[in-house]
A = this chain, B = another copy of it.
Amino acid sequence: MKARKHLRSVGPRGCEFHDCSICKGLPQEIRGELERYSHLKIYSAGDIIQSEEEDADTVGVVIDGVLKLEKTLYDGRQQIVGLMLPTDLFGRVFAHTSNVSITAATDATVCGFSRSTFEALMKRSPELEHQVLLAVLDELDVAQDWMTVLGCQTVMERVAAFLLYLRRRSVFDGESSAERPGMESINIPISRKDMAAYLGTTIESISRSTQSLLRTGVLGMKGPQEFAILDLAALLKASGRDAHEFTNHQKTIGRA
């Protein structure tokens, strides 16, 4: 796996994420404490950060790369119940078991805390707990949105919705791929297998959908992991959603 385009340089003094995400707006004192207790960790694609059923003892913020939250049925079927992109908070506070595994879907850099330390900090700082609440609320919104995708949309619609979700996240997270209209591109940071597990379908069905979007001129292909959006309106229509659903929402945590 090649080096990630947007990998930020990481200084020796620890991680510098404390200017973003949950730390925005916290009193300087707490930010300092967070910094003191944080551990910068670098994972390779496939690394297991936390396995299902195992004690959930890690909390963290994604700095770079993608983590997948996955549930596995006893017979091996797997469903990805969440993707953690840069700035997302992961880990299950206030519970010993989370029932989801956390795995690096790509090479990833995270700023981690031990859960007990983080919880102690939250206890001391209601402001921090507030930020965590906002983050969890955002995650819940995304989960409910995805339940709708899984529950009542076709595979084609799911693929389109997924691409638009990636687009929205990359735009707002500042990976601005805002080139001239018609040549906007979407980078798919995860494998087809993970995509299938997230979309509740198979790699074959995904392939058929994407190829259909290519044939109809909605998308262009720059590589298996990168598509060009040739016809955004058509992609929106293919997603079966209202257009503004993919443009309005912003994470509450970013503006609260």
Given A81-B147, A141-B99, A144-B69, answer yes or no on A200-B94 (Cβ-Cβ < 8 Å): no
- Residues B240 and A73 in contact, CB atoms below 8 Å apart: yes
In the complex, residue of chain B having the shortest beta-carbon distance to the beta carbon of A74: B242
- Residues B137 and A137 in contact, CB atoms below 8 Å apart: no
C-alpha gap A126/B132 in the complex (Å): 13
Could you mark each residue 132-148 of chain A with 1 if its beta carbon is under 8 Å from any beta carbon of chain B, else 0? 11101101110111111
C-alpha gap A153/B200 in the complex (Å): 9
Interface residues of A in 92-143 (CB under 8 A from B): 92-95, 98-100, 126, 129-130, 132-134, 136-137, 139-141, 143
Which residues of B sit under 8 angstroms from A139, Cβ to Cβ?
140
A241 within 8 A of B: yes
Which residues of B sit under 8 angstroms from A150, Cβ to Cβ?
147, 150-151, 200
In the complex, residue of chain B having the shortest beta-carbon distance to the beta carbon of A201: B151
How big is the A interface, by class? 35 or more
A204 within 8 A of B: no
A212 within 8 A of B: no
Which residues of B sit under 8 angstroms from A242, Cβ to Cβ?
74
A252 within 8 A of B: yes
C-alpha gap A151/B147 in the complex (Å): 8
Which residues of B sit under 8 angstroms from A197, Cβ to Cβ?
151
- Residues B200 and A151 in contact, CB atoms below 8 Å apart: yes
- Residues A144 and B78 in contact, CB atoms below 8 Å apart: no
- Residues B148 and A81 in contact, CB atoms below 8 Å apart: yes
A169 within 8 A of B: no
In the complex, residue of chain B having the shortest beta-carbon distance to the beta carbon of A143: B143
Given A79-B152, A95-B252, A152-B78, answer yes or no on A71-B145 (Cβ-Cβ < 8 Å): yes
Pick the contact of A137: B71, B93, B153 (CB < 8 A): B93
In the complex, residue of chain B having the shortest beta-carbon distance to the beta carbon of A144: B81
Task: Report which A residues bind B (CB closer than 8 A).
Answer: 69, 71, 73-75, 77-79, 81-82, 92-95, 98-100, 126, 129-130, 132-134, 136-137, 139-141, 143-148, 150-153, 197, 199-200, 240-242, 252, 256
